[in-house]
Structure 1
Amino acid sequence: MKKTLLAAVSALTIFAVGCSADQEGEAAGSKGDDTLTIAWLPNESGADLEEARDEIGEIIEEKTGKEVEHQTTTDYIIAIESIANGNVDMAFLGAQGYIEANNKNEKVQPLVVPSGESGTLEDAVYYSWLSVNKGEEEEYKNGGEFTIDQIAGKKFSFVSNSSTSGFQVPSTSIVDHFSQTEEYSDLTTEDLLEGGEGKFFSEVLFGGSHQGSAVNLLTGKADVAAFCDTCVENYVELAEGEENKPGALYKVKENASAPFSALSGKEFSIISATPVLNPPFVVNTDNVSEEERQELIEILTSDEIANNEKVFVPEGSEFSGLFSKVSGKERLVEVEDAWFDPIRELSK
């Protein structure tokens, strides 16, 4: 793929962040065998999920005897670089983030992913949404059906170019759709990274997290935004339609926490929903031995985790958790590297 100035700047940013992470690791001192450090993406780093993160950490501490430390982040790159360079031992990443970390260091390997409602890998997916503000839905219809034909020329918000459902999946879908037309026959994902005159989008924003991308939409900074269902489910509720179907209308909950605290009652509609492979917990096997890796798999796939209502939150609960319990069968299930090959194919 052709290189752009933005790609070069991004590479320099990644290098700078990697160096910064190395320096922070040296300043903190090397982690001993008695400590397990877990990195979290920005989506799971908010104060509202602190109790859920701590719950998982406490269970791991109890079973392994190790002290668990949490490293929250404000940037995807930091989490990916931290696990790839061994500054943390474990991380919760999106599928694309895992692939990037694994490409940097093959010692980064997956442990588990949250299952689907079947309790297996068969339906272990969540959804990448393209959404617009309420009242603007009709512009994105053709013959009564929702279409993305009209997103060209709009102000668009992605999450991060290291996000699976907030960039990799939607950008691939956009390119696949528009490259069938004569005007955009040579469109590439790199063409979607910048907006402006002569570009596919008039403006491109990056929210930094799924929550941030949704806020870009709801505050009018973007006309269309990409973000996923699970990352905003603690803040929004279905107002009309069927979940994860084009045309579904969602509303920000009353008393929603930051960054939605000033947006209660705001509504948006989905114009596209694409299933995405669930995100994995991963480890750096330079830091974690095979025995320890197997112990972590056993802990994370246990009934104790699956039945913990601070980890898998039952329907109707007001607790802000990481995962939802809908069928009663949801749990964390072991996964291998090859399971993520469909996401790898999107990058080729």
Structure 2
Amino acid sequence: MNLISARRRALQGALFCSLAACALVSLPAWSAQQVLRVSAIPDEAPTELQRKFAPLGDYLAAQTGMKVVFTPVSDYAAVVESLANGKLDLAWLGGFTFVQAKIRTNGTAIPIVQREEDARFTSKFITAQADIQSLADLKGKSFAFGAPSSTSGSLMPRYFLQQAGLTPEKDFKNLAYSGAHDATAAFVASGKVQAGVLNASVWEKLVEQKKVDTSKVRVFATTPPYFDYNWTVRGDLDPALVQKLTQAFLQLDPANPQHKDILALQRASKFIPTAKENYDGIEKAALSAGLLK
């Protein structure tokens, strides 16, 4: 190889490297992160959570160009810890779980969107007992909450019970924690407890799917509305990716057949922006119930 050819090759190599560097710079910052790691609080059976998330996961993958991996967890605390330790990027949280995540991450966890329904969420008190017609009738009865860290299956119902003058540990004959909303319905239907409470969304789904016999199990009280579920990202996630994810949720349109199916599985009419301040009331309720220090 002569000197001129060598110099030409060297210049071509330098030009190629320069172009490659420019191409890398032009890629979104999150492209270096190949996988979007997602999970959710286990407020329903793991198989149900995965079924509900699958189409949404495919949609988020298309919107971000990333591989989306959903990993179910065994309990609520695991989601909070995984966000705090950087093992999750995006998580479906209840209002109280978000408050816990905010505290655990020193305020860095960011709620990005909620379902429109979550701005006025409620819980349903259910029973199969003819002699239970109001909250006052629960005194001396056996009762089931969902998971201890559940906003709609434990915290807010407990708060409203206290407002009605009932202290669960003192006034109920027996107190159980079923672990999930659908499990609470099963507890009541089987007679394991005389009454229980679960969120309105799961109750409506169980009724629609005929997984609960409403000739036997009925709603006898409903809580006042409160803020609940949201999608939260870890605080150090790339801001451009956070924006991309936020827009992806907000662009879900019920008029689009594909989007309609995604929204139906999420039991959402649409997603709307949310903010940390929306959950201040839940934090106050948790403090009042002695669940936060």
TM-score by length of 2: 0.79
Q: 2:176: which partner in 1?
A: 205
Q: Determine if the alignment matches structure 1 residue 312 to structure 2 residue 263.
A: yes
Distance 1:45 1:217 in 2: 17
CA contact (8 A) 1:114 1:280 kept: yes
Name stretches of at least 5 consecutive residues in structure 1 with no aligned partner. 1-31, 117-122, 142-146, 180-186, 238-251, 257-262, 314-320, 325-329
Distance 1:47 1:295, change over 3 A: same
| Match among 219, 244, 250 for residue 270 of structure 1 | 219
**Which residue of the partner structure matches residue 164 of structure 1?**
151
Question: 2:135 maps to which residue?
Answer: 148
Pick aligned residue for 2:165 from 178, 185, 205: 178
Q: 1:323 aligns with which of 267, 270, 274?
A: 267
Q: 1:66 to 1:130 in 2, by over 3 A?
A: same
Q: State the partner residue of 1:131.
A: 126
CA offsets, 1:63-103, max 9 Å, x none?
21111100113322222222233221110011111111111
Query: 1:45, CA displacement in angstroms?
Result: 5.0
Q: 1:74 to 1:306 in 2, by over 3 A?
A: farther
Cα distance in 2 between the residues matched to 1:323 and 1:61: 20
CA contact (8 A) 1:128 1:276 kept: no
Q: What is the distance in 2 between the residues matched to 1:306 and 1:279?
A: 23
Query: How has the CA–CA distance of structure 1 residues 205 and 83 changed in structure 2, closer, same or farther, with 3 Å as cutoff?
Result: same
Q: Is the 8 A contact 1:111 1:336 kept in 2?
A: yes
Residue among 180, 185, 206 paired with 1:214 = 185
1:109 equivalent in alignment to 2:110? yes
Q: Partner letter of residue 297 of structure 1?
A: T
Deviation per residue, 1:141-165 (Å, 9 max, x gap): 4xxxxx2112122111001121111
Give, in whole Å, the separation in 2 of the partners of 1:72 and 1:158: 21
Deviating more after overlay: 87-96 vs 264-273: 264-273
Deviation at 1:49, TM superposition (A): 4.7
Which of 279, 282, 285 matches 2:232? Answer: 282
Higher fraction of helix: 2
- Structure number with bigger Rg: 2
How many residue pairs get aligned? The number is 252
Quick one: which of 217, 241, 248 aligns to 1:299? Answer: 248
Distance in 1 (CA, whole Å) between partners of 2:154 and 2:38 is 24
Match of 2:276 in 1: 337
Q: Which residue of 1 aligns with 2:40?
A: 40
Measure, in 2, the Cα distance between the counterparts of 1:125 and 1:71: 28
2:5 maps to which residue?
A: none
- Are the structure 2 counterparts of residues 226 and 46 from structure 1 closer, same or farther at C-alpha, using a change threshold of 3 Å? same
Following superposition, the deviation at residue 52 of structure 1 comes to 3.1
Query: Could you give the per-residue CA deviations for residues 100-150 of structure 1, whole angstroms, max 9, x where no partner exists?
Result: 11111122110100014xxxxxx83222011111xx24x234xxxxx2112
Deviation digits for residues 177-221 of structure 1 (CA, Å, limit 9, x no counterpart):
116xxxxxxx5xxxx3x5xxxx32221111111111111111111
Could you tell me how far apart the structure 1 residues matched to 2:199 and 2:96 are? 14
Give the distance between the partners of 2:80 and 2:123, measured in 1 at CA: 20
> Which deviates more, 78-87 or 215-224?
78-87
Deviation at 1:44, TM superposition (A): 4.9
Which amino acid is 2:112 matched to? L
Instruction: Give the aligned residue type for 2:116.
Output: S
State the distance in 1 between where 2:59 and 2:123 align.
Answer: 31
Looking at structure 2, the residues matched to 130 and 271 of structure 1 have their Cα atoms a distance apart, in angstroms, of 6
Deviation of residue 297 (structure 1)? 0.6
* Alpha-carbon distance, 1:43 to partner: 2.8
Q: Which amino acid aligns with 1:84?
A: A
Structure-1 residue corresponding to 2:11: none
Once the 2 structures are TM-superposed, how far is the Cα of residue 264 of structure 1 from its aligned partner? 5.8
Query: Does the 8 A contact of 1:113 with 1:335 survive in 2?
Result: yes
Q: Distance in 2 between matches of 1:124 and 1:140?
A: 29
Paired with 2:253 and 2:202, the residues of 1 have a C-alpha distance of: 24
The 3 A distance-change label for structure 1 pair 44 and 292 is farther
The code of the aligned residue for 1:312 comes to L
